[in-house]
Amino acid sequence: MKFRSATLAGIGSCLALSLLSACGGGSGGSGTAATNGGGSPVVGVDYPRSDTDFWNSYIKYTPEYAKELGLDIKTTNSQNDVAKLTANVQTFMSQGVKGVAMAPQDTAAIAPTLQQLAAKKIPVVTVDTRPDTGDVYMVVRADNRAYGEKACQFLGTKLGGKGKVVMLQGDLASINGRDRTEAFNDCMKKNYPGIKVFGEATNWDGAIAAQKLQTDLVANPDIKGVYMQSSFALAGTLQVLQQRGLLVKPDDPKHVFVVSNDGIPEELKNIAEGKIDATVSQPADLYAKYALYYIKAAIDGKTFQPGPTDHDSTIIQVRPGVLEDQLSAPLVTADGGTYGGVKSLKSDDKSLWGNNLG
């Protein structure tokens, strides 16, 4: 079933009219929107961190889409710290914002902050992560279980169903880290039981990831695959492989197959050069676009239902009162081949945001 009320098809006409006020609909549950001097609704956007290329790309896209949508944004950066995020939300409320977009990295600890916003009738859209509890207007993320499954299918195919791989996990306090880890392990057990997986918790820390990969390679020099759950581990992984003489072309018997998650320009470049082999492209541009779109829709009082969208995604209901728009995140490889039934895009495909940044 397609979602009701204002579908995203309406966004084009809204942008074309260049309205500064909300497009269509009436006022949302938060009442008359606070506006700046020009009449634009004021919303708060908290950036979760600025120490990765992926999140810096998201930060770059956000004001561009805010301008297109006629929104005035107040921004903060919580630096991967839920206490800072809580303080930033307090600042937003004092500024009278009528909506908040955030990407809480600790998806359990954010619950009290969500309760405060709900009490003030301020709608919330979470980006990339889904809170473990609490109500939000919409979750904007990709299917993170699919990330783990696609990485599994690629490595399982390349290794011929046998061998050893290292999984450099993210933070298991995050729904993303849990989803990617569980899906990768489940897929390996079901489809490639001959592959042994060394799961390494890294807390999204590149230095920790590099150290643990180094340790695993010393103990198991026959490791032939690495799954990085994010590009946070990219530089360290390449450095470790180079130090051990393993950073060689894919046709070299010593090659270690590497799959990442993000789709940043550096990953696409590395795939083309044969340094890594694949990534799953997280849509940094669409995260920014639809986070702000749904905040604006909430201010306008619009509602949505589970079902396919008109932008190649599906809205699902994850629990009562919480919907999630699961945006497309394709597997990217050098050859654009099919791996374990998963069709990939070539790394030079112009539809990839990482090939269009800047």
pTM over 0.85: no
Q: Do 177 and 32 share a structural domain?
A: no
Specify the pLDDT at position 35.
Answer: 57
Residue 1 has pLDDT above 90, yes or no: no
Q: Do 236 and 206 share a structural domain?
A: yes
What average pLDDT does the segment 24-37 reach? Answer: 40
Q: Do 287 and 277 share a structural domain?
A: no
* pLDDT band with cut points at 50, 70 and 90 for residue 175: confident
Q: Do 342 and 206 share a structural domain?
A: yes
Specify the pLDDT at position 39.
Answer: 75
Specify the pLDDT at position 321.
Answer: 85
97 phi and psi angles, rounded to 5 deg:
-65, 155
Residue 11 has pLDDT above 50, yes or no: no
**Domain carrying residue 63:** 10-128+283-327
Q: Measure the CA–CA gap between 334 and 350, rounded to whole angstroms.
A: 14
Q: Do 158 and 50 share a structural domain?
A: no
Q: Do 276 and 312 share a structural domain?
A: no
pLDDT digits (tens, 9 = 90+) for 209-222: 999 999 999 999 99
Q: Do 338 and 191 share a structural domain?
A: yes
Q: Do 273 and 154 share a structural domain?
A: yes
- Measuring CA to CA, how many Å separate 217 from each of 26, 221, 237? 59, 5, 11
Q: Do 205 and 90 share a structural domain?
A: no
**Domain assignment present for 272:** yes
Q: Measure the CA–CA gap between 14 and 2, rounded to whole angstroms.
A: 20
Please answer whether residues 277 and 258 qualify as being in contact, where contact means their C-beta atoms are separated by less than 8 angstroms: yes
Q: Do 103 and 18 share a structural domain?
A: yes
**Domain assignment present for 53:** yes
**Domain assignment present for 32:** yes
pLDDT digits (tens, 9 = 90+) for 120-131: 999 999 999 999
pLDDT digits (tens, 9 = 90+) for 291-348: 999 999 999 999 999 999 989 999 999 999 899 999 989 999 999 999 999 999 999 9
* pLDDT band with cut points at 50, 70 and 90 for residue 37: low
